[in-house]
Structure 1
Amino acid sequence: MYKPLLTLLVAASLFAGCSGNTAKDNTGDSAATTAPVDTASPATQAEDPDPSDSIAATAYGINTYGKATEQLVRARLLEKFKDDLAKDLVDSFSRRFIFFQYDLNNDNKKEIFVGLTGPYFCGSGGCSIELLNADGTVINSFTVTDYPVIVAGTATNGWQDLILESNGKYHLIKFNGKSYPANPSVAPVMKEIPGDGLPRLLNYMNEPYAWFRF
């Protein structure tokens, strides 16, 4: 006759123990959810390379901005054009540049395309574009070239072929072992418009690029 009573007492004891554990766990979870959370956004901490525009600091591509590359390019431009700069022949608007880093010869070192602008560097046929090695030495100084620079997807002498627009026509230029042709207008004219799937570098009219001064 005492067995039903004993069973009820054991069941009540087990229920009380489980209820206590549940309450303790819930208390712990509640404390965790109310702990202070760091809501600082990386965008608010990122350095804006071009404060003069309205583009967010985090919007620039990884190949279009880097402090070390910016300083390297600026030093090269100041050195190359020092005589005309000293004579005040380079106007303020022309003392700006953009860049894009791209590995053209598959050596795991990115070459640097430097886009220039303004009346000192641009004319009716296009603008001047510098191509530098990763250490800043000059590979090419292109003239009368419109933006963007297009990577053709084929290679010559271990370097990617490039498609450059000059005077409204596309030209395929190839590496001769030391450099590319400086004036793309003397290279063969392409009969077809380059496909949309090809990489387009210095495409500042359609993508966010930071402009730097030198």
Structure 2
Amino acid sequence: MAMKTRLSIALPLAMGLLLAGALAGCKKDEPETEPSGEPSGLSSAQSDEAVLQQSVSGWITANYADMGKLLYASAESDLDGDGTPEVLAYVGGPMMCGTGGCNLVVLKREGGDLRKISELSVVQLPVGVLDSKSNGWRDLAVTIAGGGVAEHTVRLQFDGKGYPRNPTVAPAQETDTIGTVLIPAEPLKPVE
């Protein structure tokens, strides 16, 4: 009887040790890191891009959860000259787009969070930034078209609080340049 008790204890213990050893062998190796703490093989820009995409995607998910399946493209540019880039996110989906285009959101980084500065409707791609400034912020250049409007580019000025909500009406001003393209006319990726 004592032998049976020892076996009933030893057998599960041995099986547990074997299972733990097998699982340890399956453990995914951690990527080697550079002295900077970055995973080796990834440039700083690549790892920053991955963080940016997750952050923007998370902001879109949190703020447009009831808008159906969404797609987006994003870019960074220091619009207000404070040394920290703002984020521009072009968001598309069934409830976010029409014949005139989709929404463009300008977000400001505050610590680890993103705060909405402006949301513009009926924007087409590409989206650019100009060298000119209004109220300390760089002017944006967006493409508008559709809904009976011929395709053209307009300059949007920051009014001290935000950019104009609708770029198809004043105070938007027609311009002949898109400036530096931030978000090109390329397919959007799914928000995850």
- TM bucket (normalised to shorter chain) is 0.5 to 0.7
Quick one: which amino acid aligns to residue 130 of structure 2?
Answer: A
Q: Deviations over 1:172-214 (max 9, x none)?
A: 2111111111111113441x5216xx20111143xxx883523
Partner of 1:185: 168
Cα distance in 1 between the residues matched to 2:191 and 2:116: 19
- The yes-or-no answer on 1:152 pairing with 2:111 is no
Cα distance in 2 between the residues matched to 1:64 and 1:148: 25
More helix per residue: 1 or 2? 1
- Shift of the 64–126 alpha-carbon distance from structure 1 to 2, 3 Å rule, reads farther
* Aligned-residue offset at 1:139: 0.7
Q: Is the 8 A contact 1:63 1:100 kept in 2?
A: no
The equivalent position to 1:127 in structure 2, one of 102, 107, 116, is 102
Q: Is the 8 A contact 1:96 1:116 kept in 2?
A: yes
- Which runs of 5 or more structure 1 residues have no equivalent in the other structure? 1-44, 48-57
More strand per residue: 1 or 2? 2
- Shift of the 78–159 alpha-carbon distance from structure 1 to 2, 3 Å rule, reads same
Partner of 1:199: 180
Q: CA RMSD in A?
A: 2.7
- The yes-or-no answer on 1:211 pairing with 2:186 is no
Partner of 2:27: none
Q: Is the 8 A contact 1:142 1:184 kept in 2?
A: yes
TM-score normalised according to structure 1 size: 0.59
Q: Is the 8 A contact 1:70 1:212 kept in 2?
A: no
Q: Which has the larger radius of gyration?
A: 1
Aligned-pair identity in percent equals 24
Q: Is the 8 A contact 1:100 1:112 kept in 2?
A: yes
- Shift of the 63–161 alpha-carbon distance from structure 1 to 2, 3 Å rule, reads farther
Cα distance in 1 between the residues matched to 2:47 and 2:165: 23
Q: Which 4+ runs in 1 deviate beyond 6 A?
A: none
- The yes-or-no answer on 1:115 pairing with 2:90 is yes
Q: Deviations over 1:66-109 (max 9, x none)?
A: 22222221221122123x1xxxx513xxx222210110111110
- Which runs of 5 or more structure 2 residues have no equivalent in the other structure? 1-39, 146-150
- The yes-or-no answer on 1:166 pairing with 2:149 is no
TM-score normalised according to structure 2 size: 0.65
Q: Is the 8 A contact 1:65 1:99 kept in 2?
A: no
Partner of 1:75: 58
- Shift of the 106–210 alpha-carbon distance from structure 1 to 2, 3 Å rule, reads same
- Shift of the 142–64 alpha-carbon distance from structure 1 to 2, 3 Å rule, reads farther
Specify the SS of the correspondent of 2:131.
Answer: strand
Q: Is the 8 A contact 2:164 2:172 kept in 1?
A: no
Partner of 2:12: none
Paired residues for 1:26-105 under 5 Å: 62=45, 66-82=49-65, 84=66, 90-91=68-69, 95-105=70-80
- Shift of the 128–183 alpha-carbon distance from structure 1 to 2, 3 Å rule, reads same
Specify the SS of the correspondent of 1:70.
Answer: helix
